[in-house]
Homo-oligomer: A and B are copies of this chain.
Amino acid sequence: MSEVRVHNLAISLDGFATGDGQSLEAPFGHAGERLHEWLVGTRFFHASDGLPGGTVGIENAFAERHEPGIGAEIMGAGKFGPPGWQDDPEWKGWWGPNPPFHSPVFVLTHRPRASVEMEGGTTYHFVDATPSEALEQARAAAGGGDIRLGGGATVVREFLAAGLVDYAHIAQVPILLGRGVRLWDGLEALEDKYDIEVVSSPSGITHLTLTAKAA
Contacts and interface: CB of A to CB of B under 8 A. Distances in A.
A129 interface: no
Interface in A170-215: 172, 174-179, 184-191, 196-200, 204-206, 208
Contacts of A187: 14, 176, 178
Given A14-B15, A198-B200, A200-B198, A189 B176 contact: yes
Given A14-B185, A15-B14, A15-B15, A191 B206 contact: no
Nearest to A176: B190
A13 interface: yes
Interface in A134-184: 172, 174-179, 184
Q: How many A residues are at the interface, by size bracket?
A: 20 to 34
Contacts of A13: 184, 196, 208
A48 to B, nearest CB: 27
Given A176-B188, A187-B178, A200 B204 contact: no
Contacts of A208: 13, 174
Interface of A: 13-15, 172, 174-179, 184-191, 196-200, 204-206, 208
